[in-house]
């Protein structure tokens, strides 16, 4: 009709449909953008495992273009040999599943991944990849802390019982020792009983240390100076048959630590080295300032520091095989005879090192000697 506006001829039903299509399009773009910007790598697969869509994080994870991902299947993105049969059955039966696996990361370390899949449309599944390395490490640390606490509580109970037994032993041996030494054999027996009781008391103190019931007193320590002061004592401990060599890094720096316990750590390592060289040998005690990158620190379980003051104790003794190396930090594990040690020394060393944000590792082969490396975070700046 003449003079009528063009809008007047527009059908209201078409307007409603147009608005609905615009809303659908906006919603699709919103969710597509949300999918693509998700921080976790995500893909969409069909029932055969073929990749139908992938977000930017998935492309970064596998270092391939988006188009290349669409030519792959889910199996291509998982480690070869990984058994996914149980996970696939759960996905088919319940519409969701998950599995975990380890793979080499780009920095040369080992990453732990969790893959979760959920049905979101008929025959289509959303698969999410998550790096759970930190979570797993935290879980292991919590589990280890719980084990340490349990062991500490048990150790405290043992110490209490041992002390109750030692009180009458010390009392009666003191009374017997005060008698006239008419019977020399009796007095010698009393002296041996008291010596055995003193060893038991020392063992109780070690158990208390492992239980962490004693307070550490951190102070600024220069390890080179401390080792120089300890040299006469170390020389006496090693005797004439073992040659001691001290080598110092003058750029070592300072650390903040309980000096008394650090000295005990050194003594423990030196005594173990001495016992590994029953005939003769050489012991090298060395300090090194090391800069460690993040992957190396993570692999060693060390703290976030980059500079470490490292103590190296190397002997020319019998060495250890892989089975022994794997257990040396376990409480009560010892390679010595029943009269030679309690197996608590290296467990105490390990506990002390980890409490102070350090690392400890061992390099040893049968017949090739042993090297212990103990590192603590170095303080920044001059002291």
Do the Cβ atoms of 57 and 38 come closer than 8 Å? Answer: yes
Residue 282 pLDDT grade (very low, low, confident, very high; cuts 50, 70, 90): very high
Give how far the C-alpha of residue 103 lies from the chain's centroid of Cα atoms, to the nearest Å.
18
Mean pLDDT of 351-367: 87
Q: What is the pLDDT of residue 338?
A: 45
Residue 245 pLDDT grade (very low, low, confident, very high; cuts 50, 70, 90): very high
Q: pLDDT tens, 193-244?
A: 888 888 887 777 666 665 554 567 889 999 999 999 989 888 888 888 899 9
Least confident piece of the model among 67-76, 145-154, 243-252? 145-154
Model confidence at 351: pLDDT above 70: yes
Percent of the chain with pLDDT over 70: 75
pTM of the entire predicted model: 0.46
Do the Cβ atoms of 269 and 349 come closer than 8 Å? Answer: yes
Using the structure block, give the residue that is written with the tokens 């048959």.
241
Model confidence at 339: pLDDT above 60: no
Mean pLDDT of 97-107: 77
Task: Name the segment(s) of the chain with CATH classification 1.20.58.
Answer: 132-214
Classify domain 38-131 by CATH number.
3.30.450.20
Model confidence at 9: pLDDT above 60: no
Q: pLDDT tens, 37-46?
A: 778 888 888 8
Q: What is the pLDDT of residue 271?
A: 87
Structural fold of domain 216-383: Heat Shock Protein 90 (3.30.565)
Model confidence at 299: pLDDT above 70: no
Q: For 184-202, b where at least 16 C-beta lie within 10 A, e where not — what string? A: eeeeeebeebbeebeeebe
Kindly report the average pLDDT of the chain as a whole number.
79
The three state secondary structure string of the chain is: CCCCCHHHHCCHHHHHHHHHHHHHHHHHHHHHHHHHHCCCCEEEEECCCEEEEECHHHHHHHCCCHHHHCCCEHHHHCCCCCCCHHHHHHHHHHCEEEEEEEEECCCCCEEEEEEEEEEEECCEEEEEEEECHHHHHHHHHHHHHHHHHHHHHHHHHHHHHHHHHHHHHHHHHHHHHCCCCCCHHHHHHHHHHHHHHHHHHHHHHHHHHHCCCCCCCEEEECHHHHHHHHHHHHHHHHCCCEEEEEECCCCCCCEEEEHHHHHHHHHHHHHHHHHCCCCCEEEEEEEEEEECCHHHHHHHCCCCCCEEEEEEEEECCCCCCHHHHCCCCCCCCCCCCCCCCCCCHHHHHHHHHHHCCCEEEEEECCCCCEEEEEEEECCCCCC
Q: What is the pLDDT of residue 343?
A: 46
Model confidence at 342: pLDDT above 50: no
More confident residue, 344 or 91: 91
Q: What is the pLDDT of residue 10?
A: 61
Mean pLDDT of 73-83: 85
Between CA 258 and CA 31 the distance in angstroms is 56
More confident residue, 15 or 357: 357
Task: Name the segment(s) of the chain with CATH classification 3.30.450.20.
Answer: 38-131
Between CA 99 and CA 117 the distance in angstroms is 9
List of residues 6+ apart from 79 with CB closer than 8 A: 101, 103
| Encoded tokens for 367 | 């017949």
Residue 153 pLDDT grade (very low, low, confident, very high; cuts 50, 70, 90): low
Percent of the chain with pLDDT over 90: 15
Q: Is the CATH number 1.10.10 carried by domain 132-214?
A: no
Give the length of the chain: 383
Residue 247 pLDDT grade (very low, low, confident, very high; cuts 50, 70, 90): very high
Residue 1 pLDDT grade (very low, low, confident, very high; cuts 50, 70, 90): very low
Do the Cβ atoms of 383 and 363 come closer than 8 Å? Answer: no
Model confidence at 333: pLDDT above 70: no
Crossing angle of helices 223-238 and 259-275, in 10° steps, is: 40
Give the end-to-end CA distance of the chain in Å, rounded to a whole number. 96
Do the Cβ atoms of 150 and 158 come closer than 8 Å? Answer: no
Model confidence at 109: pLDDT above 50: yes
Residue 11 pLDDT grade (very low, low, confident, very high; cuts 50, 70, 90): low
Residue 53 pLDDT grade (very low, low, confident, very high; cuts 50, 70, 90): confident
Least confident piece of the model among 59-68, 229-238, 290-299? 290-299
Q: What is the pLDDT of residue 240?
A: 84
Task: Name the segment(s) of the chain with CATH classification 3.30.565.10.
Answer: 216-383
Mean pLDDT of 299-304: 52
More confident residue, 176 or 364: 364
């Amino acid at each position: 009709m003449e003079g009528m506006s063009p809008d007047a001829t527009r059908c209201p039903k078409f307007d409603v449909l147009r608005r609905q299509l615009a809303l659908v399009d906006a919603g699709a773009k919103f969710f597509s953008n949300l999918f693509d910007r998700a921080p976790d790598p995500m893909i969409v697969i069909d029932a055969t495992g073929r990749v139908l869509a992938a977000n930017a994080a998935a492309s970064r994870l596998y270092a391939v273009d988006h188009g290349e991902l669409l030519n792959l299947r889910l199996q291509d993105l998982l480690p070869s040999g990984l058994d996914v049969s149980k996970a696939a059955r759960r996905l088919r039966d319940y519409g969701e599943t998950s599995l975990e696996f380890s793979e080499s990361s780009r920095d040369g370390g080992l990453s732990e991944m969790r893959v979760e899949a959920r049905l979101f449309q008929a025959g289509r599944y959303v698969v999410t990849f998550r790096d759970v390395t930190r979570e797993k490490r935290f879980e292991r640390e919590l589990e280890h802390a719980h084990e340490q606490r349990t062991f500490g509580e048990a150790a405290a109970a043992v110490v209490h019982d041992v002390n109750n037994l030692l009180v009458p032993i010390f009392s009666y041996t003191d009374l017997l020792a005060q008698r006239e030494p008419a019977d020399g054999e009796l007095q010698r027996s009393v002296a041996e009983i008291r010596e055995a009781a003193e060893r038991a008391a020392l063992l109780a103190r070690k158990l208390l240390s492992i239980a962490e019931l004693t307070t550490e007193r951190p102070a600024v320590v220069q390890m080179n100076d401390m080792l120089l002061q300890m040299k006469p004592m170390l020389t006496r401990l090693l005797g004439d048959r073992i040659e001691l060599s001290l080598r110092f890094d003058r750029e070592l720096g300072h650390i903040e630590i309980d000096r008394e316990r650090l000295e005990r750590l050194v003594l423990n390592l030196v005594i173990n080295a001495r016992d590994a060289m029953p005939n003769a040998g050489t012991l090298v005690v060395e300090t090194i300032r090391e800069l460690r990158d993040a992957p190396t620190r993570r692999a060693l379980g060390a703290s976030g520091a980059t500079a470490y003051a490292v103590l190296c104790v190397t002997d020319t003794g019998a060495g250890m095989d892989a089975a022994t190396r794997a257990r040396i930090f376990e409480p009560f594990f010892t390679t010595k005879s029943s009269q030679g040690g309690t197996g608590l020394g290296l467990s105490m060393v390990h506990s002390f090192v980890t409490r102070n944000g350090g690392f400890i590792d061992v390099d040893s082969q049968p017949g090739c000697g042993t090297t212990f490396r103990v590192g603590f975070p170095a303080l920044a700046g001059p002291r």
